[in-house]
Structures are given as C-alpha cells and as structure tokens.
Amino acid sequence: MPALRGRAGGGPVVVVGAGAAGLAAAALLRAAGQSFTLVEARDRIGGRAFTDRALGAAFRFDAGAEYIHWAERNPWAPIARAAQAHVAREDGWARKLVIDGRPASADEMTQRRAGFSGLDALLAPKDGDPSLAEAARAGGPDAAAAAAGLSRLSLGEDPERVSAVDYDRLWSGSDLWIDGYGDLVARHFADLPVSLGCPVRGIDWSGPEVRVETARGTIAAAAVVVTVPVGVLRAGAVTFTPDLPDAARTALGGLSMGAYTKIGLRLDPARLDAAALGDAVSAATAGPTIYFEMQPFGRSLAVANLGGDLARDLCRAGEAAAVALATERLIAILGGEARSAVQAGRLAGWWTDPHARGSYSIVAPGHAEARERLREPVGGRVFFAGEAMAGGGAMTVGGATLDGERAARAVLKALGT
C-alpha cells in the first residue's frame, strides 16, 4: 500500500472513518472545494450500514442499519426513492409469541400487549433523568417487562443503562424498511476517494497543525473530523496528544455502546411451510428475548435480533454458539422440521467488532447532555461527528449523515472557507 503524506502549511482536512457521518462530511467538503483525506480502518465503506452476503447473494441481509427512520425528514428517504430502492413499511408487531419453547396463551399475549399500552407516557421523564427501567417501574411488572423488551430489541441495551430523557428526545415518524441499506450507502458515496485498510492510531493537536498518525504514515492536516464510533473512542484505540479536555472526556464518559445483534439463518424453503413463516418473538426465562424477522423481502431467511448483556455474551461465545441458539429458538417456533431446514448461519456481532465495539450509542442516566457536549470542537481543529452526536437523530444512518454535514460546515467556518 502507498504511504499517505499530508502537505505542511495547512494541509487537507482529514476525515477519520468512512461510515455515514464521515462519508457525508467528506462529500460536503468536496462540494465546497476544500481538500480532504478520508481514511477508513475497514476494507469497505459504510461502517455499521452493511449488507452482508456471507450466506450468499440470494440470502443477503442488512447486518446493521435496515430502517430509514423518521422518513419525513430523513435525507435517505429521497436518496432511496431516487435510487429506486426496494422499501416497505414495517408494522412492528410479531404474529407469534413463544415462551420457554411453548406457544404463549391468549392471556399471556394479552398481558404482553397490556404492558406496552401506555408505555410511552411512562417513559416520558417527569423529573430528573431516570433510566428507562426506573421510569417504567410505576406501571408495574408488565410495563417493566415491556420496557426491557423495547430497550433490548430497539436500542440493544438493558433498560437500567438508558437515559429516559435521551430516549424521549429521539425523533419519531414513519419508518421505511429498506432492502439493502448498506448497499445503498455504499453506492451513493462510491465516487468519494478513500484510503481503506488505514486505521488511525493517534491525533496530535499540540502544534499549529494537526498530525494524524495512520497505519500508512502521518498526515499533516488543517483540521480533523473524527467519526469513529463511541466504542472505539472509549476503548482508547485512537490516542490524543494532548489528552482531550475534561469537558470532552466527561461527555464521552456519559456515552456507551449498545449490543444490538443479528443472526442470519439461511433456510431451505423446500423443508418449511412458507405460509407459517411470520415474524415471531421467542422469550425465555433464562435467556435472551429474540425477535425473528421471517423471510425479509421474500428471501428464505430468518434473522434473529437481540440486545443487552445476553447479546454481549453471545457475541463473545462466537458465531457457532450464536447460530446454535438461534436454530434452537427457531425450532421452538416452527417445529422440529426447522432443524434440517437451517443450511447455514451468520453472526453480525457488532459488540466484538474492533472497528465498532457496539451497535450504536447509548446515553447513561444522568448524562442527557452528553451528545450535545461532545459536539464542541477541541482546540478549534478537532471536530467529532457521528450518530452519537446527532441529538434526536441518534442511532440512525440519517442522524449520522446530518451530523457529518454539520461537522463539515463547522470545519469550513473555522478555516474561513
């Protein structure tokens, strides 16, 4: 690989990370005529927007983002329409509930729905910044169970660790389920120049220019836009010289990463009744609750979704263990014939991915201002961007895109260009 060299005397703007935020920042800088260098640790662009083909092209699924949330104002909605991407609306309800390997009774189904009734009002914080678990407690055990399910299967985190104030701030609206969100992101930004396989190890902002140390050399830059996930920053994978100011470190300390996890199972359609393959929830007294997406976009697939500490445990256990668990849960839903129908499996384990270290950002109770505070530039030359700083758009590709553009505009203003 060729070495990277930045010019002295100002240099380009270095954009670290080619996920949605970094790609959007680089695109805006290019449109403004500002020189830039975009570097990415992975061998692909898109970050946590990734359409996985490990099970075969005909069995592809989005390992990360798959919904265009709040489509009324999400920049990816018109992009998807212009690209004639295949989209569908999602109703969000599974047709079947299995508890500890048996079909739920009518009373149990009613009880589950009752727990979700009024949950939004309970989770809207009245005083302070409680966790989702604490906010739901007033609604009794059914509401607490519903909050746990919502938190793990929407945010990827246990409800005790999620700020109710931050959750209440998340934007709402129509959700579009997109076939190949990762592919759409990659196609949309395909013409941007990017150095792949080029992780950043350190950022030195002690002098008149920023020096960005990469695996392929050091770049002298006028400014740097850092878009790597919060999990990577918290792990210390990128060092800062001097250390980040107290305000930035405090903000970072109020953020963590959820563990939203997917397991794709490739199915033999000849061995299953396609009419029986509706979405289902598998709950267990001693194990994770799993939401199964069945036949997404007509493909012979079952995609298991889970989150929280039990998802972390499964990621650490590895792909074979994850596929085995998902298969056993699928058998409990569909019957014994499902065992022979499962042909292969794929774990999308963001928690153990060194370039992500989690699925998306979570604000801890009591730290509701962390997202906004991490937006503050450091030394007028180091700018953070990404879904973690996207306010109400956090945890989404749309939010990351908007925040990358926000950071790029801030850089242009700081440089006077």
Nearest to 219 by CA among 2, 12, 385: 12
Per-residue pLDDT at 8 exceeds 60: no
Confidence of residue 275 (pLDDT cuts 50, 70, 90): confident
* Phi, psi dihedrals of residue 176, rounded to the nearest 5°: -105, 125
Which three-class secondary structure string do you get for 134-203?
Answer: HHHHHHHHHHHHHHHHHHHHHHCCCHHHCEHHHHHHCCCCCCEEECCHHHHHHHHCCCCCCECCCCEEEE
Report yes or no: 281 and 291 within 8 Å, Cβ to Cβ.
Answer: yes
Confidence check: pLDDT of 10 > 70: no
pLDDT (mean) for 396-410:
99
Q: Which residue did the predictor score with more confidence, 59 or 117?
A: 59
pLDDT of 48 strictly over 60: yes
The 3-class SS string of 194-242 reads CECCCCEEEEECCCCCEEEEECCEEEEECEEEECCCHHHHHCCCCEEEC
Distance between the two ends of the chain, CA-based, in angstroms? 32
- Give burial (CB, 10 Å; 0-12/13-18/19+) of 261: buried
Tell me what pLDDT residue 331 has: 95
In this prediction, residue 93 carries a pLDDT of 67
Confidence of residue 7 (pLDDT cuts 50, 70, 90): very low
The full set of domains in the chain, from first to last, is 13-46+189-255+362-415 (3.50.50.60), 53-91+258-352 (3.90.660), 110-169 (no CATH)
Give residue-wise pLDDT tens across range 111-140. Answer: 988 898 889 899 988 889 999 999 999 999
Question: Rounded to whole angstroms, how far apart are CA atoms 38 and 193?
Answer: 7
Using DSSP, state whether 345 is helix, strand or coil. strand
Written as one letter, the residue type at 231 is G
From CA 54, how far away is CA 220, in angstroms rounded? Answer: 38
Q: What whole-number distance in Å separates Cα of residue 185 and Cα of residue 83?
A: 11
How does residue 222 score in pLDDT terms, banded at 50, 70 and 90?
Answer: very high
In the chain, what percentage of residues exceed pLDDT 70? 97
- Please, which pLDDT band fits residue 95 given cuts at 50, 70 and 90? confident
Whether 365 contacts 161, CB under 8 Å: yes
In the DSSP assignment, the letter for residue 44 is S
Single-letter code of the amino acid located at 121: A
Q: Residue 155: what pLDDT? A: 98
pLDDT level of residue 89 (50, 70, 90 thresholds) = confident
Quote the pLDDT of residue 360: 96
Could you give the CA distance from residue 39 to residue 19 in angstroms, rounded to a whole number? 10
244 φ/ψ angles, rounded to the nearest 5 degrees: -60, 150
Model pTM score: 0.95
Say how far apart CA 237 and CA 160 lie, in whole Å. 27
pLDDT digits (tens, 9 = 90+) for 360-388: 999 999 999 999 999 999 999 999 999 99
* 299, 59 Cβ separation under 8 angstroms: yes
